[in-house]
């Protein structure tokens, strides 16, 4: 089981979890993890968030 928070801005101090399907925080449900991306540099974090689908969250590891 993995928990994360929906990022409000690009963050370099956390890893990113990309869900296999979109979801919102209002509809918490079980979803498969598409991929985990380790801590990103600022430019990559900005790009990741601009192209990410709903369901992308950050986590501290």
Please list the residues that pair with 37 across neighbouring strands. 16
How far apart, in whole angstroms, are the C-alpha atoms of residue 18 and residue 4? 10
Residues 6+ apart with CB under 8 A from 53: 18, 19, 22
Each residue's pLDDT tens digit, 3-38: 777 778 888 888 888 888 877 777 777 888 888 888
User: Domain ranges in the chain?
Assistant: 15-59
Each residue's pLDDT tens digit, 49-60: 777 655 566 565
- SS3 of 22-61: the string is CCCCCCCCCCCEEEEECCCCHHHHHHHHHHCCCCEEEECC
pTM: 0.67
């Amino acid at each position: 089981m993995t928990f994360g928070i929906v990022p409000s801005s690009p963050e370099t101090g956390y890893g990113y979890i990309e869900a296999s399907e979109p979801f919102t925080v209002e509809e918490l449900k079980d979803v498969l993890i598409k991929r985990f991306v380790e801590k990103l540099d600022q430019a990559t974090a900005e790009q990741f968030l601009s192209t990410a689908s709903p369901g992308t969250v950050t986590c501290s590891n």
